[in-house]
Amino acid sequence: MSNRIDVKKTYKLFINGVFPRTESGRTYEVKSAKGSFIANPCLASRKDLKDAVVAARAAHHGWNKATAYNKGQILYRLAEMLEGRRAQFVDEIIAVTGATKAKAEKEVSESVDRLVWYAGWSDKISSLSGALNPVAGPYYNFTIPESMGVVAAIAPETPSLLGLIDVIAPIIVSGNTLVVLASSKAPLSAMSFAEVIATSDVPAGVINILTGMKDEIAPWMASHMDIDGFDITGLATKKHAEIRASGAENLKRIFAFKSHDPARILAFMEAKTVWHPIGL
Amino acid sequence: MSFYGLVDGTDTSLKNYLGSLSGVDQVGADARAAMLATRSIKTTSKRWAIDMAISMVDLTTLEGADTVGKVQALCTKAVRPDPTDLTVPSVGAVCVYNDMVATARKHLDLVGGQHVGVAAVSTAFPSGRASMPVKLRDTRDALDAGASEIDMVIDRGAFLSGHYIDVFNEIVAIKELCGTRAHLKVIFETGELVTYDNVRKASFLAMAAGADFIKTSTGKIAPAATAPVVLVMLEAVRDFYSMTQQRIGVKPAGGIRNTKDAIKQLVLVNETAGPEWLTPSLFRIGASALLNDLLMQRMKMDTGYYASPAYVTID
């Protein structure tokens, strides 16, 4: 029998490489599958979103300029760090979802593997999707995909860890920076994953994670003039039309995805075409 | 010169005058500034504050890499900060190095900015390390080129060594040169003055010597315009007004980058010096990046969407 007092973790947000509380001071309750209290994560407000976008915008230039090799290394580093802490993630998944140990272990393993898979795409995506175009003139004409800028995302409710990683990895691997709203019912793995990010050489502001309610945050993500793309995979299908309409005002590119796929990377990239004169 | 009857221009009288000042309660000043920073300004008040702050901005570019083109672009922006919205007021002045004063004045007049002043940083800005003839010549240059405001730096070395009379005489000489042609702003570089007592002392010294404005910093050194320093200076102008019936302006500069910071400054002004100081002729904010944030906040209030820096100019 131990006399130690429980040391419980305070679940905060992850913005610009640090862990602030929400500016609103609000929290909400996360309960286990059986209904018992687990934690009080932050209930992020639109102003937390605004701060996160400012951080993401500031981080974009540097992250976009990092070499594909370097970005791949950093994604692989995320996988290494996650692997080293798998026990904690397994426990959190079991506590919140009531999943069996085997099922939770499988989700964490798949998450690690998924990070490695996307890390591998880093230095291949532009060669595979770029092109040398035939043109009727004395020019070389290249098309190369480039990152879009700041992308927002709503992570799916389940699986809370694997779903989050499927949202994060394809968006950042191309050089975008990201503001993601974690699963509302199971945000613990997301905030623990923020600790993995903080120790993996991901520059501050490249990945920002909020916890809170989709219905409160998603409309602000859609209407924000400084967010270039929006992954609404985690948003209920009946909300899609409204969000797409609001994002159309600022020409935001909005997509939802069903599985992991290199198309997820390309969705948040833009094609740049360069004309280079021959013989100069 | 009468110096408001506070000093007679001698070392002894200046030392007596500065010695009669009470010290600043550092803990109290920090706490008061922190408390005032928690005021929440919303909706119509915020809208009013944003426009007030825009009209108080001294839009500044003080880079070694400044070009004629950059100064001209800055002047155009100063007159009409948001070309798509004519209800946005012009800024208070543009603030440039001496050699850009003529360019700035000419371009402001060209784009309908006769009401926007040109502030020149002179007296060997930012260090102030030059001989007096050079500082005078520097200032005369700026005045001849059309500067309507002179931002001079004090000799911090002399001030910190206790040679107050040298600092005093310098300000008096520059003020004499400005005469009625230009307003004189005196920059303390509070980041180098170390204590709030020194800030208070420098404020009273500069005001007695004839400063029209007292200004925190050059913007080249951090910390610059922190809230407690501005509070101490605002208290100084308030007390100076009760002694002389003369209102001296205050200009915080450096480190005020967003709307929230600017509104905090306005709260400080209103609660310390009083609402009479809430005018561009008595309060200015030296800044460059701030204006874009004010414009973006204004757009947010108009459209209901968070704005993007892609819709405002880079400089």
| Distance separating alpha carbons of residues B100 and B103, to the nearest angstrom | 5
Residue type, B304: G
Residue B315 has a pLDDT of 75
Residue type, B103: T
Residue pointed to by tokens 């303390």: B188
CATH superfamily of A30-277: Aldehyde Dehydrogenase; Chain A, domain 1 (3.40.605.10)
Banded model confidence at residue A2, pLDDT cuts 50, 70, 90: confident
| Distance separating alpha carbons of residues B171 and B149, to the nearest angstrom | 14
pLDDT surpassing 90 at residue A175: yes
Interface contact B306-A53, CB threshold 8 A: yes
Among residues B135, B175, B215, B264, the one annotated as catalytic is B215
Give 10-residue mean pLDDT values along chain B (315 residues): 89 95 96 95 96 97 96 97 95 97 98 97 94 97 97 97 97 96 96 96 97 96 94 97 97 95 97 97 96 96 93 86
Residue B1 has a pLDDT of 65
pLDDT surpassing 90 at residue A228: yes
* Residue A272 burial (C-beta neighbours within 10 Å; 0-12, 13-18, 19+): exposed
| Distance separating alpha carbons of residues A223 and A237, to the nearest angstrom | 18
pLDDT surpassing 90 at residue A159: yes
Residue A279 has a pLDDT of 83
Torsion sign, CA atoms B178, B184, B190, B196: positive
Residue A98 has a pLDDT of 92
Which of B257, B300, B308, B314 to mutate to probe the A interface, most A CBs <10 Å?
A: B308
Find the closest chain B residue to A47 by CA distance. B306
pLDDT digits (tens, 9 = 90+) for A207-226: 999 999 999 999 999 999 99
Interface contact A226-B306, CB threshold 8 A: yes
Contact status of A24 with chain B (Cβ, < 8 Å): no
Q: Is B251 a catalytic residue?
A: yes
Q: Which domains, ranges and CATH numbers included, belong to chain B?
A: 3-303 (3.20.20.70)
Domain layout of chain A by residue ranges: 30-277
Contact status of B309 with chain A (Cβ, < 8 Å): yes
pLDDT surpassing 80 at residue A95: yes
Among residues B82, B151, B155, B261, the one annotated as catalytic is B151
Residue B218 has a pLDDT of 95
The tokens of A37 are what? Answer: 């209290």
pLDDT digits (tens, 9 = 90+) for A108-157: 999 999 999 999 999 999 999 999 999 999 999 999 999 999 999 999 99
CB of A175 closer than 8 Å to CB of A147: yes
